[in-house]
Amino acid sequence: MLPGMIPNEAELTAGVKIEAGRQYGFFTDTTLCIGCKACEVACKEWNSLPADHLTLTGMSYDNTGALSSNTWRHVAFIEKVRSDGADGAMVLPPFQSHWKMMSDVCKHCDNAPCQEACPTGALFRTEFDTVVVQQDICNGCGYCVPACPFGVIDLNELDGKAHKCTLCYDRLKSGLEPACAKSCPTDSIQFGELSDLHRRARARVQSLHEQGAGDAYLYGAPGGPGATGNLGHLHAFFLLTEQPEVYNLPSAPSRGADRVLPSLLAGLATAVLLTGAAFGFLLAV
């Protein structure tokens, strides 16, 4: 028996001390993923999220389908076993290949469209620079849902609130690694300080290239695909070996807020111009 929880457990499980004011995130290395879905379960266990849609999808081993208000981690399955000939793969590149599995999650964008769209301030950036929906504030206006360029955040019409991954906000506050990353059997999901994760990820890509997995690249790291259109870098970024769309990710997502000003100006101009015209026509009467 232990007296209580292990203090700063994240130092044991992720080698990082969690402190307010620093930037944290996930690095998901798909080449280490065995598609076990421990992340999905650990997330639901910690966050008391209900199971839903208990039907077979036929999409390889993916019966979750997508991220939703009840599912904050989703493992995608893409079979490419015989993509290189009818005999199928036998001599394989190192680590994951031919059956691609990827654990998707909220990207916690640097400029998060959901947060920028939220009119109540329910969505905000925490002291760990993550993006969270505050359930005591959200009034279910639903604007964050179409605002997300990754189709992550979802409104649950039963409780009338928006929900998504909180990067285990409550756990971070208590020095615990997020549930999904802690459970991941092969450390495909790594939690840590963003700068550190970026360093690790770049090194990993390089070593994979050296070992013959030339198609490995980072999605959502600064300057890379995913971290485009003023979204800034993604706090949850990925090491992928297929083009983003294969994993249902856009190659160049953009920040909606950038479209607000041009749109407003064009509209105001039109309205003002027509107001002027109104004076013209009326004076002519």
How many Å apart are CA 137 and CA 62, to the nearest integer? Answer: 33
Q: Please identify, using beta-carbon distances, which residue of 31 and 197 lies nearer to another protein.
A: 31
Pick from 131, 133, 128, 139: which is nearest to 112 by CA?
Answer: 131
Q: Could you give phi then psi for residue 156, rounded to 5 degrees?
A: -90, 110
How many Å apart are CA 28 and CA 270, to the nearest integer? Answer: 47
Q: Is 12 one of the binding residues for another protein (CB under 8 A)?
A: yes
Q: Is 64 one of the binding residues for another protein (CB under 8 A)?
A: yes
Q: Which of these ranges, 80-88, 192-200, 215-223, 233-241, lies near another protein under the rule CB under 8 A?
A: 80-88
Q: Which of these ranges, 161-169, 195-203, 215-223, 233-241, lies near another protein under the rule CB under 8 A?
A: 161-169
Report in angstroms how near the CB of residue 81 gets to another protein at its nearest: 4
Q: Which of these ranges, 165-173, 193-201, 213-221, 232-240, lies near another protein under the rule CB under 8 A?
A: 165-173
Mask for 37-56, x = binds another protein (CB under 8 A): xx-xxx-xxxxxxxxxxxxx
Q: Is 165 one of the binding residues for another protein (CB under 8 A)?
A: no
List the structure tokens of 251.
Answer: 């190659």
List the structure tokens of 269.
Answer: 């101009």
Q: Is 117 one of the binding residues for another protein (CB under 8 A)?
A: yes
Expressed in angstroms, the distance from the first to the final Cα of the chain is: 91
Number of residues that bind another protein (CB under 8 A): 157
How many Å apart are CA 204 and CA 223, to the nearest integer? Answer: 17
Amino acid identity for residue 224 in this structure: G
Report in angstroms how near the CB of residue 196 gets to another protein at its nearest: 18
Q: Is 19 one of the binding residues for another protein (CB under 8 A)?
A: no
Q: Which of 22, 23, 140, 232 binds another protein (CB under 8 A)?
A: 140
Q: Is 232 one of the binding residues for another protein (CB under 8 A)?
A: no
Q: Please identify, using beta-carbon distances, which residue of 109 and 197 lies nearer to another protein.
A: 109
Q: Is 160 one of the binding residues for another protein (CB under 8 A)?
A: yes
Q: How, if at all, do strands 236-240 and 24-29 pair?
A: parallel
Exposed (0-12), middle (13-18) or buried (19+): which is 224, by Cβ within 10 Å? Answer: middle
Q: Is 249 one of the binding residues for another protein (CB under 8 A)?
A: yes
Report in angstroms how near the CB of residue 198 gets to another protein at its nearest: 20
Pick from 186, 207, 201: which is nearest to 27 by CA?
Answer: 201
Q: Is 16 one of the binding residues for another protein (CB under 8 A)?
A: no
How many Å apart are CA 32 and CA 41, to the nearest integer? Answer: 18
Q: Is 279 one of the binding residues for another protein (CB under 8 A)?
A: yes
